[in-house]
Structure formats: C-alpha cells, structure tokens
C-alpha cells in the first residue's frame, strides 16, 4: 500500500461513516494519520426554477467548537482515499487560510472581550426584535440570562 504523503499531502478521505474529508496529511503512522484542518464536504441542492436544480458544494469544519488545527484520524475509520486535484487544493488552501485567521483571532481575544462582543451582539438582536416585534428585553444583573417579555408572558433564554 502506498504512503499517503508520496504524491501530495492534500487528500480526500472517504470515512466509513460516509463523510468526505479534505485535509493535509502531516504525518502517517501505522494505525493513524495526523491531519491538518480537516474539512467536511457539504452538498446541497438549490432549485433555480421548476425545471433546474443546481448542486452546490462547500466545505465546513469537520470538528466544530475547537481551535485545534490538527487531528488524529485512525486508519480503520478510512474506507478509501485519494489525492486532491490542483484546483481543489487551491480552494481548500483558501478556506484554511480563513479558518486559521479565525483561530488566531479567537486565541488573541480575552474572555472579557468575547463577553463584551456577545453582549453587544445580544443588544443588537434585542434592538432588532424590539423594533420589529415590540418585545421588551431586560438584561439581568449577572448577565447569565435574558428575560424576554412578550405580551405579558415571560420566557427565559439561557
């Protein structure tokens, strides 16, 4: 069996669960791969009109809610693999550049600045809702919950 890095480190992996994953193989072990910024291929169909359907393909992070850039994928979870075409490598690299920028931004932000940004975003949403639906939004002192008053009834968002 050929080593995955031989031609190009940029691969598409077909996992046994059906996922197609674009990645850069950083290192190959006997039982696993160390990959950089694995991206799942996401396809969805858009109806242009009654007669035409267009399929769009995009990428999204394979593992969300983490700022890690490298992951281990065990070989027993890989059904097949192939080398990415040059134009796909270009697209993947552009997407990875954006993800690296987001990771860098998140690592440079303090928890306080992220909380301030979240409060600012919540205020903008509250203003929008207030303007469009006449909803009163009250912020609690500890900022752990928002009370929304709609037509006299109280709902709590956590």
Strand order in the sheet with 136-139: 136-139, 146-150, 153-157
Which residues, at least 6 apart from 140, have a Cβ–Cβ distance to it below 8 Å?
146, 147
pTM: 0.62
pLDDT at 136 exceeding the cut of 60: no
Structure confidence by residue, pLDDT tens digits, 96-116: 999 988 878 777 777 778 788
Integer Cα distance of 136 and 123 in angstroms? 12
The tens digit of pLDDT for each residue in 1-24 reads 456 556 899 999 999 999 999 999
CA distances (Å), origin 54, targets 5, 41, 49, 57, 141: 34, 16, 10, 10, 49
User: CB-based contacts of 106: which residues, under 8 Å, 6+ apart?
Assistant: 67, 114
């Amino acid at each position: 069996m050929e080593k995955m890095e031989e031609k190009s480190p940029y691969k598409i992996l077909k996992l046994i669960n059906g996922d197609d994953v674009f990645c850069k193989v950083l290192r190959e072990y006997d039982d696993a791969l160390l990959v950089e910024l694995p991206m799942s291929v996401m396809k969805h169909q858009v109806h242009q009109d009654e007669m035409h359907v267009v399929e769009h393909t995009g990428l999204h992070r394979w593992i969300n809610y983490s700022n890690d850039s490298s992951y281990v994928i065990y070989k027993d979870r890989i059904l097949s693999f192939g080398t990415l075409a040059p134009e796909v490598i270009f697209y993947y690299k552009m997407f990875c550049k954006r993800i690296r920028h987001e990771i860098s931004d998140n690592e440079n932000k303090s928890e306080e600045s992220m909380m301030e940004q979240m409060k600012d975003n919540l205020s903008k949403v509250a203003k929008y809702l207030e303007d469009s639906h006449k909803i009163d939004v009250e912020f609690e002192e500890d900022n752990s919950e928002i009370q929304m008053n709609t037509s006299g009834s109280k709902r709590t968002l956590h």
